[in-house]
Amino acid sequence: MKLFRGFLTLFIIFCTLQWPSLAINSKKSYIVYLGGHVNGLEASEIRESHFEFLASILGSKERADEAIIYSYDKHFNGFSATLDEDAAAKLAEHPDVVLVFPNKGRRLHTTHSWDFLKLESNGIIDSSSLWKKARFGENIIIANLDTGVWPESKSFSDHGYGPIPSKWKGGCENETSVPCNKKLIGAKYFNKGYLATYGSMGMNSMNNARDHEGHGSHTLSTAGGNFVSGVSINEVGNGTAKGGSPRARVAAYKVCWPPTLLGGECTDADILKGFEAAIEDGVDVISVSLGGAPANYFDDAIAIASFHAVKKGISVVFSAGNDGPLPETVTNVAPWVLTVGASTIDREFQAFVELRSGLRLKGLSLSKPLPNNRLYPLISAANAKAENASAMNAMLCKEGSLDQKKVHGKILVCLRGDNGRVEKGKQALLAGAAGMILCNDKASGNEIIADPHLLPATHITYADGLRVYAYLNSTKEPLGFITHPSPVVNIKPAPSMAGFSSRGPNMITPEILKPDITAPGVNIIAAYTQDSKSDFPYNIESGTSMACPHVSGVVGLLKNVHPDWSPAAIKSAIMTTANSRDNEGHPMMDETKSTANPFSRGAGDICPNRAMNPGLVYDLSANDYLDFLCAIGYNQTMVQKVSGHRYECPRSNNSILDFNYPSITVHKLSGTVTVTRKLKNVGKPGIYGVRVRSPVGISVDVEPKVLRFQKKGEVQKFQLTVKAHGIKVIKDYVFGELAWSDGKHLVKSPIVVSVA
Ligand SMILES: *[C@@H]1O[C@H](CO)[C@@H](O)[C@H](O)[C@H]1NC(C)=O
Ligand SMILES: *[C@@H]1O[C@H](CO)[C@@H](O)[C@H](O)[C@H]1NC(C)=O
Ligand SMILES: *[C@@H]1O[C@H](CO)[C@@H](O)[C@H](O)[C@H]1NC(C)=O
Ligand SMILES: *[C@@H]1O[C@H](CO)[C@@H](O)[C@H](O)[C@H]1NC(C)=O
Ligand SMILES: *[C@@H]1O[C@H](CO)[C@@H](O)[C@H](O)[C@H]1NC(C)=O
Ligand SMILES: *[C@@H]1O[C@H](CO)[C@@H](O)[C@H](O)[C@H]1NC(C)=O
């Protein structure tokens, strides 16, 4: 599994290429999934049965004891174990075994954002805000499966909190190292799967949930961190940090450890154990900002684990991945989870480059300002190369490539690429530069990032970089300045889709649109580790990892306002009320400057206040998800085992087209198909009329055109007849929209059609 944060992208690509070819040793760790639990057995009996079962395969109890990593004895039935290939194959053929999957490694995928999402306005919280109505998420419990937590962060202080909710069954492991309190009520760690796969990697502090990375503290505080005032980075952007459910209780489940070149930092065996612990502990929301390559449901241990969580009424929220803008990259696509893409907000930390020629170029930065208000000499790093270095390495400001005598006291111009952005600044500082201008290379184009560099610095686009290099060429004594970084809000247009956010179509089930929803994931400030690697208690990060906990926080609020809603109802409310326009009223854009389609934005950008009162929802039960698995071709035997109870696949009329998803996708349309949906009234009685924007070349007819709801809870059916016109559809996919409205609510669904 990988954490879905932006700046790891290069590393991720590197490692993904390495992964398939490397064998670690002849024995590997596997997850043996036996399905849902049959009621009536004690956990100890189940554990015992796992050992006995494995002993029968391996030939002795001792071998089984040695092999088993975890026994999953609570909410899903199975175990993980270190096995040779023969034993794994034998298990896979056993009639009691649903599936055996290799213990895959995954990777991790960063607060003005709440103002932008209209939960507050310039720090003022209106009485109609979901925050007020939901008592800021009070007593909701949010779990985060990630790199752990920095427990001393103010975001997790329990000042002003009452007793821990009585339903809480969790707690903290190794409290001497990671002390919990009435806000941070859980901190557990799961490392056996990682150790079995990668070994200890020479680490000595693997027995607690402390976050040495920063990612886990960042995501957890974005979902449920306190209001913390006076947060700034390098004294830029002094503001109040807070999570989506700022009064929620939070629990960290550390399942990710330092990255390895062998594949990942989080393993399925540990993630599954984390899921099991979170379900057992009594959490309301599980937030997971990590993932691997998309995989079939019965090949994806965390899809199965999240099904068991959702079945218990827990909402599960995942990041979509950072492999955009390439299509077919979205991961974590199970229909029972919320899959979240990343968008921008309307704030930038701007620091301009000023050249003596009169040019003024916008850059982004969270760095310290230059000490003196005067022009500084500029030098291209290529001209500052050390004698033994190559011009290319110098241009990129790589370690050991710069000549201190040439750099000293000047603003160094470095080119993006190869080594990290902050690393370039470090080399510039070591060489004695007064400041740094970081210019994008062609590949990174317009994507610029406000980093907290170690020296005064700013980051400019490729086009502006060329202007700086041209100026350097044009004069013997180039001079320039970097202005004091400062936050600018109301940037337009916003939101727009982040380039890195993974895109559909969904490679596993093309009939389900993914991602589902978009939330802020670019330049997000939240809590961080205070380990030696960080100078700041709060840090700025980008990635779908940062978008995911925004949605988790909002789910926490909705659970307080609507405790009786299913995870599917909450998801529907979030999706059908989403915003697909930007703050100029235009359709939301992609960073490529084209209109963002549902494959990048899903239903659109989350709109918390509207999600509180959607009018109607597309509801789904755990049984509907089982029907879905039958509809996509899994057989009775398999699906029955997952269910853990008596279950039979529907004998007829079980078309995936009728799966009551809040978005509508018709894959490989030929001729005419009908799509059925059911809407449940969660508001006042009302009369809803329909409006359809048909995809180009497709006709969509809805019957009935009016739905009358006389009471809350009432369900009404409607059908869409989708037909391809005779004319040739030029594109692979075409997009439209379905909307029901009673004049007060607008219940919108994206329509996606591909033609056979
Ligand atoms: C708790 O964490 C500390 C610091 O990593 C470690 O030295 C200690 O062994 C851990 N305690 C237990 C009981 O695992
Ligand atoms: C940040 O703002 C708060 C209140 O507006 C103020 O008390 C504090 O001194 C400021 N901190 C910095 C570093 O400017
Ligand atoms: C060049 O020489 C310096 C000083 O001897 C050394 O620190 C640096 O690593 C060398 N650089 C390269 C690229 O070999
Ligand atoms: C600047 O001059 C160098 C060396 O003559 C040349 O390679 C480069 O293309 C020039 N850059 C620009 C932007 O004019
Ligand atoms: C159900 O599917 C599994 C896995 O594809 C297969 O091994 C099994 O034989 C199938 N069972 C039936 C009854 O078709
Ligand atoms: C199945 O669909 C057909 C055609 O739409 C309909 O006539 C029939 O009543 C449906 N059967 C069930 C059990 O819903």
Question: What is the tens place of the pLDDT at every residue in 650-670?
Answer: 998 899 999 999 999 999 998
**Distance in angstroms (rounded) separating the CA atoms of residues 76 and 94:** 18
Choose the catalytic residue: 146, 268, 281, 300: 146
SS3 26: coil
DSSP string, 450-493: ----SSSEEEE-HHHHHHHHHHHHH-SS-EEEEPPPEEEE--SS
Structure tokens at 215: 């990612």
| Ligand 3 first shell, C-beta below 6 A | 386, 388-389, 400-401
> What pLDDT shows up at residue 105?
80
Asked whether 284 and 314 are in contact (CB, 8 A), the reply is: yes
Lowest mean per-residue pLDDT among 74-88, 122-136, 603-617? 122-136
> What pLDDT shows up at residue 263?
59
> What pLDDT shows up at residue 490?
87
Could you confirm whether 218 is annotated as catalytic? no
> What pLDDT shows up at residue 14?
26
397 Cα to the center of ligand 3, angstroms = 13
Atom of ligand 2 nearest to the CA of 238: 1
Asked whether 619 and 572 are in contact (CB, 8 A), the reply is: yes
> What pLDDT shows up at residue 202?
64
Lowest mean per-residue pLDDT among 39-43, 131-135, 424-428? 39-43
| Closest residue by Cα to residue 582 from 707, 447, 491 | 491
SS3 144: strand
> What pLDDT shows up at residue 109?
63
Name the closest ligand to CA 123: 2
What is the crossing angle of helices 215-224 and 544-561, to 10°?
A: 30
Asked whether 279 and 312 are in contact (CB, 8 A), the reply is: yes
> What pLDDT shows up at residue 230?
87
Name the closest ligand to CA 95: 5
Lowest mean per-residue pLDDT among 157-166, 295-304, 567-576, 677-686? 295-304
Asked whether 237 and 523 are in contact (CB, 8 A), the reply is: no
For residue 116, pLDDT beyond 50: yes
Q: Which residue, by CA, sits nearest to atom 12 of ligand 6?
A: 653
Could you confirm whether 531 is annotated as catalytic? no
For residues 668-694, give the mean pLDDT: 96
**Distance in angstroms (rounded) separating the CA atoms of residues 578 and 364:** 29
Band (pLDDT 50/70/90 cuts) for residue 112 is low
Could you confirm whether 215 is annotated as catalytic? yes
Q: Is the CB of 470 under 6 A from ligand 4?
A: yes
Structure tokens at 473: 């060429």
For residues 390-413, give the mean pLDDT: 96
> What pLDDT shows up at residue 49?
93
Choose the catalytic residue: 75, 215, 667, 745: 215
Band (pLDDT 50/70/90 cuts) for residue 727 is low
| Closest residue by Cα to residue 665 from 506, 502, 501, 497 | 506
427 Cα to the center of ligand 3, angstroms = 13
4 Cα to the center of ligand 6, angstroms = 44
For residues 257-271, give the mean pLDDT: 82
Atom of ligand 4 nearest to the CA of 467: 13
For residue 515, pLDDT beyond 80: yes
Ligand 4 mutation target, pool 473, 475, 476, most atoms within 8 A of CB: 473
For residue 282, pLDDT beyond 80: yes
Q: Is the CB of 207 under 6 A from ligand 1?
A: yes
Band (pLDDT 50/70/90 cuts) for residue 237 is confident
Which residues face 699 on adjacent strands? 723
Token pair 């497709």: residue: 698
CA-based torsion, 14, 191, 153, 137: positive or negative:
positive
169 Cα to the center of ligand 1, angstroms = 22
Exposure string of 437-472, with b = 16+ CB inside 10 Å and e = fewer, is bbbbeeebeebbbbbbbbbbbbbbbbebbebbbebb
For residues 376-387, give the mean pLDDT: 96
For residue 229, pLDDT beyond 90: no
For residues 389-412, give the mean pLDDT: 96
> What pLDDT shows up at residue 25?
39
For residues 406-419, give the mean pLDDT: 94
Measured CA to CA in angstroms, residue 711 lies from 533, 686, 692, 748 at distances of 57, 8, 25, 21
> What pLDDT shows up at residue 21?
27
For residues 380-385, give the mean pLDDT: 96
Ligand 3 mutation target, pool 385, 388, 401, 404, most atoms within 8 A of CB: 388
Q: Which residue, by CA, sits nearest to atom 5 of ligand 1?
A: 205
**Distance in angstroms (rounded) separating the CA atoms of residues 144 and 244:** 14
CA-based torsion, 177, 179, 184, 188: positive or negative:
positive
Ligand 5 mutation target, pool 94, 634, 635, most atoms within 8 A of CB: 635
Asked whether 79 and 118 are in contact (CB, 8 A), the reply is: no
Q: What is the pTM of this model?
A: 0.89
For residue 311, pLDDT beyond 50: yes
- Other Cβ atoms less than 10 A from the Cβ of 474: the count is 10
For residues 208-213, give the mean pLDDT: 93
For residues 423-452, give the mean pLDDT: 92
Structure tokens at 449: 């990032």
575 Cα to the center of ligand 6, angstroms = 29
> How high is the mean pLDDT of the chain?
90
171 Cα to the center of ligand 1, angstroms = 16
For residue 19, pLDDT beyond 70: no
Q: Is the CB of 174 under 6 A from ligand 1?
A: yes
For residues 461-480, give the mean pLDDT: 96
CA angle 118, 136, 317 (to 5 degrees): 80
> What pLDDT shows up at residue 10?
26
Q: Which residue, by CA, sits nearest to atom 10 of ligand 3?
A: 400
For residue 444, pLDDT beyond 90: no
Band (pLDDT 50/70/90 cuts) for residue 264 is low
Percent over 70 (pLDDT), the chain:
93
Which amino acid would we find at residue 560?
N
